[in-house]
Amino acid sequence: MIVFDHVSKIYPNGTVGLDDVNLTIQDGEFVAIIGRSGAGKSTLLRAVNRMHDISKGTLTVNDTNVSGLRGKALRHFRREIGMVFQSFNLVSRTTVIRNVLSARVPEMPFWRVLLGAFRKEDKITALESLDKVGILDKAYIRADQLSGGQQQRVALARTLAQKPKIILADEPVAALDPVTAKQVMEDFVRINKEMGISILLNIHHVELAIEYADRIIGIRAGKIVYDGPSKEVDQAVLDSIYGEAAKQEATA
Ligand SMILES: Nc1ncnc2c1ncn2[C@@H]1O[C@H](COP(=O)(O)OP(=O)(O)OP(=O)(O)O)[C@@H](O)[C@H]1O
């Protein structure tokens, strides 16, 4: 469970990233965060695994106060939270399986890392993860020879190999064409429903958010202005999240 209790984030230059956010996300939820550019979506997402420190309030993830974590405890905590980015962040000149196996490195003794001597269990985990996202047949192909959608699936498989309880996804389909974007969103749904992993995802495509997520969080200028089921998101809700921009687009 993720709990934001009166959380604010003020960047060193004075910009308010989050403004008194109160939010509870239960285990196994699929939540999409929507809002205009600069609204605070990434700040919210990245606070969860402490890529960004919060300035005020309390953020608790699975009963751990995130702000109190240091050193080894922080590294251990981060292993339980997978992260997927818009730009995939793969090592392009190596194979798909090597990319996925890299998720196992923090669990390995140093000598194994040095020799690249992955254990059989790690290889099985990596292959199972690739199977879950439907690209097992690409295991021994170089990552840079795959399409964007396939590369995002490798990134997702790498995250699964980490055996996370939560996956954070920062604009995971922004670089993909509409058909591929839907396929990757379907992967997220399957992972969420079949494996029970909580998914918290930032997305600019409102239609995709509503179609695939169960719950929508609308953020505007660092404040949550909507938090409810996807099926209840209507034009009035979108206006409250996007303001004039939504009205102008609707009338264009
Ligand atoms: N490192 C930083 N230093 C100062 N201000 C920042 C920093 N990162 C983000 N901000 C500011 O905080 C606010 C929220 O940014 P954030 O990246 O969370 O928005 P976003 O909703 O994810 O935007 P986008 O959709 O464009 O990615 C913006 O005003 C942004 O300019």
CA pair distance 154, 150, nearest whole angstrom: 6
> What pLDDT score was predicted for residue 42?
96
pTM of the model: 0.91
CB 91 within 8 A of CB 98: yes
> What pLDDT score was predicted for residue 248?
56
Atom of ligand 1 nearest to the CA of 40: 18
23: nearest Cα among 232, 172, 201, 228: 228
Give distance in angstroms: CA of 39 to centre of ligand 1. Answer: 7
> What pLDDT score was predicted for residue 244?
67
Checking phi first, is residue 38 left (phi over 0); if not, alpha (psi -120 to 50) or beta? left
Q: What residues does each domain of the chain span? A: 89-163
> What pLDDT score was predicted for residue 86?
87
Q: Which helix (H) or strand (E) holds 55?
A: none
- Give start and end residues of each alpha helix (H) in 49-177: 71-79, 96-101, 110-115, 120-132, 148-161
CA pair distance 212, 230, nearest whole angstrom: 9
> What pLDDT score was predicted for residue 58?
97
SS3 83: strand
Type of residue at 205: H
Q: Which residue out of 7, 10, 11, 51 has the highest number of ligand 1 atoms within 8 Å of its CB and is therefore the one to mutate?
A: 11
Q: What is the pLDDT along the chain (252 residues), one digit of tens a residue?
A: 999 999 999 999 999 999 999 999 999 999 999 999 999 999 999 999 999 999 999 999 999 999 999 888 998 899 899 999 888 888 888 899 999 988 776 777 777 776 777 788 888 999 999 999 999 999 999 999 999 999 999 999 999 999 999 999 999 999 889 999 999 999 999 999 999 999 999 999 999 999 999 999 999 999 999 999 999 999 999 999 998 655 555 445
> What pLDDT score was predicted for residue 36?
95
> What pLDDT score was predicted for residue 107?
74
Type of residue at 135: I
> What pLDDT score was predicted for residue 249?
54
CB of 168 sitting under 6 A from ligand 1: no
